[in-house]
Structure 1
Amino acid sequence: MSAPWINKGSFAFSLPVCNRLICFCLTFALVGSGFNAFAAEPAAETKASERPMNVLVLYADDWRHDTLGVAGNPIVQTPTLDKLASQGMRFTENCVTTAICGVSRACLFTGQWMASHGCNGFSAFKTPWEQTYPGVLRDNGYYVGHVGKWHNGKFPAEQFDFGRSYYGRHWFEMPDGSKVHVTQRNENDALEFLDSRPKDQPFCLTVAFFATHAEDRSPLQFLPQPESMSLYQDVEIPVPDNANDESFHRLPDFVANEANEGRNRYHWRFDTPEKYQIMMKNYYRLATEVDSTCGRILRELRSQGVLDNTLVIFTTDNGYYHAEHGLADKWYPHQESIRVPLIIRDPRMNKDLHGTTNEDFTLSVDLAPTILSAVGMQTPSSMQGRDLADLYAGDREKSKPWREEFYYEHPTIRDKNFIPRSEALVRKEWKYFYWPEFDREQLFHIATDPHEEKDLANDSAHAAKLQEMRARFKELKDEAATEAKSS
């Protein structure tokens, strides 16, 4: 499948060339200056409707669904992303199908559950490259870039026209001896991609931020840029009601012990009030820095006259415990771990929908088919997600019913005492957990117990519900392991 706008002579891999200096400025300065990345674009010679749509994926790390001002967070400042939501749609029940960096990224690229793409941690996924969204786009004439975190085995630089992968640290020493923060490096590379890209080709750029992921080897964990340290100085970060030992000991005993890695990281970050404030303020500073970089990237798109012909997606790889249940990090099927932000700004979206929210279950596996459908490409049959445009650009009455439940899966990491395998059937009102290595079931009534504190699995009053969900869980688990699904 090819299009008349393909320039077959422009597929040479782009070598790193530092040809510009990018100045760092703070979000609070950005807000005060009246900066607007979404102002009307300069006039373009070619009408947007006559040009192939571009794609920008802004992919942050370790942000849960409420790490956004527009989501009601009273502390964190995310003006760019709040504005992006006002120019598109925000999906409030968006979830990942596996809440860990490597597997979730494989789900993003392949549109598949872990059981199908075969990445059970941080190795390369087994799905052929030509069945991923960057692979399909590049094969069909797109100039394709990836900057930042990869975490799926060796970075396949040869599969990108512009590819740079780095993560794991917040500060990097560059060849010239200077030190640059990972988020600033993401920004520099993204802007270089946009500056150097062939202007006669459509493009797809994935900006894979490392922030707000902790630098695990540092006792400070979260290391923002010095200019950000004045942010949040005079605020008190609220501590969740269930960030306590009582909640921790309500977990199954194979999680509620000091050998569990979620508990270990809780002690790194959250086990004293003073430590909690330091860690959370630095975590939010990292988030605001990502928001600022998103603003500069969007501003560059606007200055080039292509923002209003670009599908913009902001999302993250997994949620995050902010000490809820006495845990830190992610992995398990609790709401804090599996729910993540999703904002889509699609040029095809009716303006009446701008600034609205959608409460359907949308998933990480939906993004690859959504991207390909938006630009008119055929979705590989291997992709298991659905085109989200059905929720905002199609006729809902004519579309097949949207999902009301989904299967969640997470692999064992290292061994069952470190991070045990977990699975779940997730619905709006109910959630069924299964811990395969311990043959343990849990049942939660989310509607009345949103923090998942009261396990009803052994309550005879809910025996019928447990049996029904157990059976449906097995059906969805089998479906997730199918290698292909007709589009």
Structure 2
Amino acid sequence: MLGLISVLRLRSVRRGRSLAFLVVLLGGLAGPSVQAQEGATARPNIVMLFADDWRWDTLGYAGNRIVQTPNLDALAARGAWFRQARVTTSICWVSRASLFTGQWMARHGSPNPEPIPTPWAETYPGLLREAGYWLGFVGKWHNGPFPGDRFDFGTSYMGQHYMTLPDGTEIHVTARNERDALRFLDERPEGRPFCLTVSFFATHAEDPHPDQYLSQPESAPLYEGVTIPVPATATEAHFRALPPFLATEKNEGRVRWYWRFDTPERYQRYMKAYYRMATEVDRTVGRIVDELERQGVLDNTLIVFMGDNGYFHGEHGLADKWYPYEESLRVPLIVVDPRMHPMRRGHVNDDFVLNVDVAPTFLAAAGIPAPEGMQGRDFAPLYLEADPPAWRQEFYYEHPTVTNRERIPSSEAVVRKDVKYSYWPEWGFEELYDLRADPFEEHNLASDPAQAGRLAELRAALERLRREARGSRASPR
């Protein structure tokens, strides 16, 4: 059965939906393998695939008809795809700290790329290693000096797409991610559960480089002859409609827009380069999954693929992330869990699952109680149970000031399915969007007298959620 899935994984991304149906159908007919039934009773291995600057719809499975991600699409088809996954802070180092701790920034206290203040013994890597897991980390750390002594196998690197190894060999950062991940799997001790976090630097741009996204030579033919659609909101008018302190040339999102998207030619060039790097990550994911299958442990390995933050592809006249708009908050999230019944494969969920939920989910799968200060929730019941539990209907978004209030100002938001309220404390500015009628956040209703009651309720909700984020354990809303 797994061999057939491996073949299907290599098929065209444009058949992602039919692939999902076929895998569910075949899985249901075949039933779980003996290995899967036996493995489900043991502590699962855990593989966390964390991709940088990868927004939710950079997936063929999400309906993107251009990007080629066949391996990730195959994972979604045999697992669960969380269509409304979000992050609580849309910036690299804070999102990583929240991933490891299961805490909002207001709780873990890491608004800068420095060591995470939360005790290591209260993070998912620390707790899993204490419980006997063989612990590995590969790639981008970005939370102060890399604590290599806390891992059984650890390598950390970021910032460049190409680097030179000590032996003089030049290697691409994604190729090194792959090499190191496979080395971890090859060297791990048999008979012991393992946890490997692969923290990709791609698809993050190499910001100082004039070419921004430097893919590998074999990817050069990808996307040639293709025209990438430009978002309808990628206009000068949409940029001018932003809050006045964002609609300036000092706004870092606008600065980087000039680097990448300010002309039609540049837009096509850099979007294709961005997609090439995404496809390279997808290839590496496929090779990691193939190695797990070759070693006979795939049926007892919990795999999660997630982005650390969303990404503007020119929407609102912006590039990069940071600001509390949907393009910045929304990320891909795919889970393959050995406990999942074959008939539920290809499950699509529309709950607000957050980056802070990953740590308690890993711990629960390993039978380890989450520490009291871990604010996220185990989200596995959402795809394991026929009658899933009630889930949060809103969440608190927060972002620190980076450099100064004109470059990247701080922001907060209450995010719900039907409405979003954002507050920019350094500017005393409010935004209110009716997401049902205005999903692309084009019409700020904060000054509309007819919205006064709704605005007052959301202001109170922001204060309440802010207090909860600073406290010990968040509400399960």
What is the TM-score when the length of structure 2 is the normalising length?
Answer: 0.92
Residue 328, structure 1, aligned to residue 338, structure 2: no
**CA contact under 8 A between 2:10 and 2:71: conserved in structure 1?**
no
User: AA paired with 2:395?
Assistant: F
User: AA paired with 1:344?
Assistant: V
Counterparts of 1:162-177 in structure 2 under 5 Å?
A: 162-177=153-168
Instruction: Give, in whole Å, the separation in 2 of the partners of 1:303 and 1:431.
Output: 46
**CA contact under 8 A between 2:57 and 2:63: conserved in structure 1?**
yes
Identify the residue that residue 361 of structure 1 maps to in structure 2: 352
**Aligned mate of 1:111, from 83, 90, 102:** 102
**Aligned mate of 1:414, from 400, 403, 422:** 403
Identify the residue that residue 19 of structure 1 maps to in structure 2: none
Q: Residues 279 and 174 (structure 1 numbering): CA distance in 2 closer, same or farther, change over 3 Å?
A: same
Instruction: Give, in whole Å, the separation in 1 of the partners of 2:36 and 2:78.
Output: 24
**Aligned mate of 2:391, from 388, 402, 410:** 402
- Offset at residue 393 of structure 1 (A): 1.7
**Aligned mate of 2:227, from 236, 239, 242:** 236
**Aligned mate of 2:270, from 261, 270, 279:** 279
**CA contact under 8 A between 2:468 and 2:474: conserved in structure 1?**
no
Q: Indicate the SS of the match to 1:357.
A: strand
**Aligned mate of 2:424, from 415, 419, 435:** 435
Q: Indicate the SS of the match to 1:47.
A: helix
**CA contact under 8 A between 2:347 and 2:383: conserved in structure 1?**
no
- Offset at residue 178 of structure 1 (A): 1.4
Give the helix-richer structure, 1 or 2: 2
Identify the residue that residue 159 of structure 1 maps to in structure 2: 150
Residue 51, structure 1, aligned to residue 51, structure 2: no
Instruction: Give, in whole Å, the separation in 1 of the partners of 2:213 and 2:40.
Output: 43
- Offset at residue 418 of structure 1 (A): 0.9
Q: Indicate the SS of the match to 2:380.
A: helix
Identify the residue that residue 449 of structure 1 maps to in structure 2: 438
Residue 344, structure 1, aligned to residue 335, structure 2: yes
Counterparts of 1:71-90 in structure 2 under 5 Å?
A: 71-90=62-81
Instruction: Give, in whole Å, the separation in 2 of the partners of 1:30 and 1:339.
Output: 27
Identify the residue that residue 296 of structure 1 maps to in structure 2: 287
Residue 209, structure 1, aligned to residue 200, structure 2: yes
Identify the residue that residue 7 of structure 1 maps to in structure 2: none
User: AA paired with 1:468?
Assistant: E
Q: Indicate the SS of the match to 1:392.
A: helix
- Offset at residue 485 of structure 1 (A): 6.1
- Offset at residue 200 of structure 1 (A): 1.9
Residue 189, structure 1, aligned to residue 151, structure 2: no
**CA contact under 8 A between 1:144 and 1:161: conserved in structure 2?**
yes
Instruction: Give, in whole Å, the separation in 1 of the partners of 2:193 and 2:287.
Output: 20
User: AA paired with 1:339?
Assistant: R
Q: Indicate the SS of the match to 2:159.
A: coil
**Aligned mate of 2:296, from 298, 305, 319:** 305
User: Higher mean Cα deviation, 344-353 or 405-414?
Assistant: 344-353
Instruction: Give, in whole Å, the separation in 2 of the partners of 1:303 and 1:47.
Output: 18
Instruction: Give, in whole Å, the separation in 1 of the partners of 2:45 and 2:51.
Output: 20
Q: Deviations over 1:265-321 (max 9, x none)?
A: 000000000000000000000000000000000000000000010000000100000
What is the TM-score when the length of structure 1 is the normalising length?
Answer: 0.90
Q: Indicate the SS of the match to 1:192.
A: helix
**CA contact under 8 A between 1:42 and 1:305: conserved in structure 2?**
no
**CA contact under 8 A between 2:113 and 2:143: conserved in structure 1?**
yes
**CA contact under 8 A between 1:381 and 1:486: conserved in structure 2?**
no
Identify the residue that residue 15 of structure 2 maps to in structure 1: none
Q: Residues 72 and 201 (structure 1 numbering): CA distance in 2 closer, same or farther, change over 3 Å?
A: same
- Offset at residue 394 of structure 1 (A): 3.3
Instruction: Give, in whole Å, the separation in 2 of the partners of 1:255 and 1:381.
Output: 38
Instruction: Give, in whole Å, the separation in 1 of the partners of 2:39 and 2:432.
Output: 50
- Offset at residue 248 of structure 1 (A): 0.4
Contiguous gaps of at least 5 residues in structure 2 = 1-6, 13-18
Q: Indicate the SS of the match to 2:384.
A: coil
Q: Residues 486 and 421 (structure 1 numbering): CA distance in 2 closer, same or farther, change over 3 Å?
A: closer
Identify the residue that residue 472 of structure 1 maps to in structure 2: 461
**CA contact under 8 A between 2:138 and 2:154: conserved in structure 1?**
yes
**CA contact under 8 A between 1:106 and 1:119: conserved in structure 2?**
yes
Instruction: Give, in whole Å, the separation in 2 of the partners of 1:214 and 1:479.
Output: 34
Counterparts of 1:87-98 in structure 2 under 5 Å?
A: 87-98=78-89
Q: Residues 260 and 47 (structure 1 numbering): CA distance in 2 closer, same or farther, change over 3 Å?
A: same
Q: Indicate the SS of the match to 1:443.
A: strand
**CA contact under 8 A between 1:370 and 1:389: conserved in structure 2?**
yes
User: AA paired with 1:464?
Assistant: G
- Offset at residue 483 of structure 1 (A): 3.6
- Offset at residue 50 of structure 1 (A): 4.8
Runs of 4+ in 1 over 4 A off after TM superposition: 27-32, 38-46, 484-487
Residue 249, structure 1, aligned to residue 237, structure 2: no
User: AA paired with 1:421?
Assistant: S
**CA contact under 8 A between 1:42 and 1:303: conserved in structure 2?**
no
**CA contact under 8 A between 1:80 and 1:295: conserved in structure 2?**
yes
CA RMSD of aligned residues (A): 2.2
Q: Residues 358 and 235 (structure 1 numbering): CA distance in 2 closer, same or farther, change over 3 Å?
A: same
Q: Indicate the SS of the match to 2:171.
A: strand
Identify the residue that residue 16 of structure 2 maps to in structure 1: none
- Offset at residue 45 of structure 1 (A): 12
Q: Deviations over 1:147-171 (max 9, x none)?
A: 0000011111111000000010000
